[in-house]
Structure formats: structure tokens, C-alpha cells
Structure 1
């Protein structure tokens, strides 16, 4: 499984900020953004 950093970097390129944060929160519920 890719790291959260890799997922975040990938989603940065693919999605706008609002959608990216929503997705990233879903991957990392216990980690503040």
C-alpha cells in the first residue's frame, strides 16, 4: 500500500483542494491536516 504522503501527492495533482482534503481525511482519520 502506498504511503499517505504518496497518496496526498497523487491526489494533489488529480483533485481540487476541497475534494483532496475530504479524501485525505478519509485515509487518515487520526491525523490532523
Structure 2
């Protein structure tokens, strides 16, 4: 169980960063399409 908790702590920030990049890319794409 402790190993799983450590993995989640390592993966958490990576997942948040991935979501941030996805949102950024999608918003930029929509902006370019809008123009």
C-alpha cells in the first residue's frame, strides 16, 4: 500500500501538468480557429 501511495504522489503533479497543457493547447486551437 505504501508503494502505491508514493507512486500516486509522483504521478499527481505530472497528471495536473498534462491537463494544464491540454487545456492550453485546446484554448489556443479554438482561438486560432476563431480568427
State TM-score, norm by structure 1.
0.37
What is the TM-score when the length of structure 2 is the normalising length? 0.35
Higher percent of residues as helix: 2
The structure with higher relative contact order (CA 8 Å, sep 6+) is 1
